[in-house]
Structure 1
Amino acid sequence: MAKKRVLTVEVLHEILKKNNKELYEAVVKREEAIKSQCDDKIKEVEYKLGVESGEALLLLNLIYYLEGKIELRQIV
């Protein structure tokens, strides 16, 4: 029987580290902004993520989905 695969934020981080360092660094900056609890800084980082790359926006939405912040229908 095939092993069921689970996509987590941690798995996404590992994929990014190996495949797209720029996106990985952007995600890390977003997480640092969230830890600082400064809403303006979070919005600025997320804005830059979304504007600079469609890939980044999709990735950000996937992370939001995995964190339970948005529903699948909001992505597709």
Structure 2
Amino acid sequence: MAKTRVLTVEVLHEILKKNNKELYEAVVKREEAIKSGCDDKIKEVEYKLGVESGEALLLLNLIYYLEGKVDVEEIV
């Protein structure tokens, strides 16, 4: 029987660290902006991520989904 796998934000971070350092750094910048609590800074970081890379925007949406902030219908 196949083992059920679960994708968490932590697992996603580990995958990114090993496979795509640029996207990983983008995610880290987003999290730092969130910790700062400044909405303008968060929006600026997310805007830059989205403009610079469609992959980064998709990744952000996936992280939001895993964090329970958005539903699948909001991503697709």
Shared fold, TM over 0.5 = yes
Deviation at 1:73, TM superposition (A): 1.0
Structure 2 residue runs without a partner (length 5+): none
The CA deviation at 1:74 is 1.2
Using the alignment, how far apart are the partners of 1:24 and 1:34 within structure 2? 15
Could you list the runs of 5+ residues in structure 1 that have no partner in the other structure? none
* Segments of 4+ moved more than 6 angstroms: none
Q: TM-score, normalised by structure 2?
A: 0.97
Cα deviation code 1:1-52 (max 9, x no counterpart): 1111101100110110011101100100000000010101000000011110
CA distance in 2: counterparts of 1:74 and 1:30, whole angstroms: 20
CA distance in 1, matches of 2:8, 2:48: 23
2:30 counterpart residue number: 30
- The alignment partner of 1:7 has SS state of coil
Separation (CA, whole Å) in 2 of partners of 1:23 and 1:53: 9
Structure 1 length normalisation: TM-score? 0.97
Identity %: 91
Give the drift of 1:75. Answer: 1.3
